[in-house]
Homo-oligomer: A and B are copies of this chain.
Amino acid sequence: MKDQCIKVQQTEEDIKALQDTIYVIGGKWKLPIIHSICNGNKHFKEIERSIPGITTRMLSRSLRELEDNKLITRTVDPNVPTLVEYEFTEYAKEYGVLITEMIRWGKHHKKMIIGQL
């Protein structure tokens, strides 16, 4: 491992893993949606209203991708077929450390770039 390496030597597999991670939570709306569900919004319209600028199209697509990645569940009320609930999976919570670290880094980075420390 070279001295100038960023902490860990990365294998090809690591790079793929990194890109997967970025893909899963990347794009314009995934994070705001996660944020919205975090804040207690469960229904499609609730989530939509809580995210300024999002369209039904992008919300629909993003929710499905998050569902495909097992980060959220989609549950239709059997009694009220037009009532759907989106919730985090237990699995999604393992994701907390990463979120925290990304927030920390993003804030630090912004100060660095803007303030030119």
Contact = CB atoms under 8 A, between A and B. Distances in A.
A57 interface: no
Q: Is the interface of A mostly helix, strand, loop or mixed?
A: helix
A98 B97 CA distance: 10
Contacts of A87: 4
Interface string A27-70: 01001101101111000000000000000000000000000011
A80 interface: no
A95 B18 CA distance: 13
Nearest to A96: B7
B88 A16 contact: no
Interface residues of A, number: 55
A87 to B, nearest CB: 6
Contact of A2 (B8, B15, B39): B39
Interface of A: 2, 4-10, 13-22, 24-26, 28, 31-32, 34-35, 37-40, 69-70, 87-88, 91-103, 105-110, 112-113
